[in-house]
Copies of this chain bind each other. A is one copy, B any other.
Amino acid sequence: MPNYFSSDFKLGILGGGQLGKMLLYETRKFDIQTKVLDPNPEAPCKIACNEFVRGDLMNYDTVINFAEDVDVLTIEIENVNVDALETLENLGKKVFPSAKTLKRIRDKGIQKQFYKDSGIPTSPFKLYDNKSELLKDFTQGEIQLPIVWKSRTGGYDGRGVSILKTEADIDSLPDTPCLLEQKINFKNELAVIVARSVSGETKTYPVVEMEFHPTANQVEYVICPARIDDHVSKQAQEVARKVSNAFEQVGLLAVELFQTQDDEILVNEVAPRPHNSGHYSIEGAFTNQFEQHLRAVLDLPLGSTESKVGAVMVNLVGDENHEGNVYYENIEKILELKGVIPHIYGKAQTRPFRKMGHVTIVDKNLNTARQTAEEVKGLIKVISK
């Protein structure tokens, strides 16, 4: 095994956002040297990495030059120049996740087709090269509304996705390669993070549950473990592991799943990196997802994915009516509550719905954690003043 600890070994990270910032807690803990690339001079990773390079993640030459002196290259965001990663792999550089995986994921059409070809359960879909093809199908009555429309590329955090309910919704679509996907009337939205190391050791985290707001169609709480039947959990973990193996993923793979009304598990989409649905693990799991990602891409033994305690995660997003210098109203009040740990990503400016941080609530009793999470949600506001 190479000597990673307090050595000359250097890990390169593409992207310097909050996921990178949390990954850096672990590289610091292991004293592993890091080099981070991000276009934002005030990126959350700016401090705590050994070397920060400002540059465009989508620029071929920038990525190639950045990677020259790193021993292993990983990502904290998928929107990077994948051709550069491919070149680097051909030059013998270790790149995790692989360019192949990123290519399969960044185009949602290819991703869906890959699931179909790999025998992985996913919702029925149809691909379209452009809008007119889609309109043709519609006029021929081959499209039943409501239906889910997704742009094949460029979608992120809900962008590039919409639910078509009326003909007007279809008319207003952009002309871009896209896919239509059956709208799943799901019982639960679940997620499973699978860790897979260079040598193929695989460990699966417990299933987490996304609890939605009763009226607003928005995830409010990520709950670990999910409050579902054991056989459904096992099934979800099996499907997730199958996806990780199909991609031959190295590192973490976060698999978002639907539990249908009749307890079928369908893959929605994946992220080949640490993921929002795994933030609870910093406080809740024996091995947090960031340390696990590090272990996986460095081919170290994977750690236990068991939970120490029940955990609920609440995202801190910018209040819709505020823009400007951020202020976390009532943060001192939530700190009074047992097992409440805020994580502030370090973005100076808030914007409506911008991800500014998250709060983890842990308790030996999951229901207590869930109740505390509701108090937290009711108290804290991300505003500007």
Bound CA–CA A326/B6 (angstroms) = 7
Using an 8 Å CB-CB cutoff, how does the interface string of A266-307 with B read, 1 for contact, 0 for none?
000000000000000000001100010001000011011000
Q: Is A49 an interface residue (CB 8 A)?
A: yes
Bound CA–CA A31/B342 (angstroms) = 10
Identity of the chain B residue whose Cβ is nearest the Cβ of A346 in the assembled complex? B31
Identity of the chain B residue whose Cβ is nearest the Cβ of A327 in the assembled complex? B3
Q: Is A138 an interface residue (CB 8 A)?
A: no
Whether A1 pairs with B339 at a CB distance below 8 angstroms is: no
**Number of copies of this kind of chain in the complex:** 2
Question: Among the listed B25, B49, B335, B344, which residue makes an inter-chain contact with A25, where contact means beta carbons less than 8 Å apart?
Answer: B25
Q: Is A29 an interface residue (CB 8 A)?
A: yes
* A6 proximity list for chain B (CB < 8 A): 326, 328, 344, 346-348
Bound CA–CA A312/B204 (angstroms) = 26
Bound CA–CA A303/B304 (angstroms) = 26
Bound CA–CA A76/B327 (angstroms) = 29
Are A301 and B335 CB-contacts (below 8 A) given A6-B326, A346-B31, A362-B286? yes
A197-251 residues with Cβ-Cβ distance < 8 A to B are none
Q: Is A331 an interface residue (CB 8 A)?
A: yes
Bound CA–CA A343/B29 (angstroms) = 5
Identity of the chain B residue whose Cβ is nearest the Cβ of A32 in the assembled complex? B344
Question: Among the listed B303, B335, B344, B362, which residue makes an inter-chain contact with A31, where contact means beta carbons less than 8 Å apart?
Answer: B344
Whether A335 pairs with B303 at a CB distance below 8 angstroms is: yes
Are A28 and B48 CB-contacts (below 8 A) given A286-B362, A335-B300, A335-B303? yes
Q: Is A332 an interface residue (CB 8 A)?
A: yes
Whether B338 pairs with A300 at a CB distance below 8 angstroms is: no
Tally of contact residues, A, Cβ under 8 A:
45
Bound CA–CA A291/B342 (angstroms) = 11
Q: Is A161 an interface residue (CB 8 A)?
A: no
Identity of the chain B residue whose Cβ is nearest the Cβ of A338 in the assembled complex? B304
Q: Is A145 an interface residue (CB 8 A)?
A: no
Whether B48 pairs with A295 at a CB distance below 8 angstroms is: no
* A291 proximity list for chain B (CB < 8 A): 341
Whether A31 pairs with B345 at a CB distance below 8 angstroms is: yes
* A301 proximity list for chain B (CB < 8 A): 332, 335-336
Bound CA–CA A336/B31 (angstroms) = 19
Q: Is A123 an interface residue (CB 8 A)?
A: no
Question: Among the listed B3, B47, B304, B347, which residue makes an inter-chain contact with A47, where contact means beta carbons less than 8 Å apart?
Answer: B47
* A326 proximity list for chain B (CB < 8 A): 5-6
Are A338 and B286 CB-contacts (below 8 A) given A29-B344, A308-B308, A348-B6? yes
A25-44 residues with Cβ-Cβ distance < 8 A to B are 25, 28-31
Q: Is A62 an interface residue (CB 8 A)?
A: no
Bound CA–CA A345/B364 (angstroms) = 31
6 additional contacts (CB under 8 A) given A21-B28, A295-B335, A303-B341: A5-B328, A6-B344, A30-B342, A47-B48, A47-B49, A308-B308
- Can you show 19 pairs from A to B with CB atoms below 8 A apart? A3-B328, A6-B328, A6-B344, A6-B346, A25-B25, A28-B47, A29-B343, A29-B344, A31-B344, A31-B345, A47-B49, A48-B48, A286-B362, A300-B335, A301-B335, A301-B336, A303-B340, A308-B308, A308-B362
The 7 closest A-B pairs by CB, nearest first: A31-B344, A31-B346, A301-B336, A48-B48, A308-B308, A301-B335, A304-B338
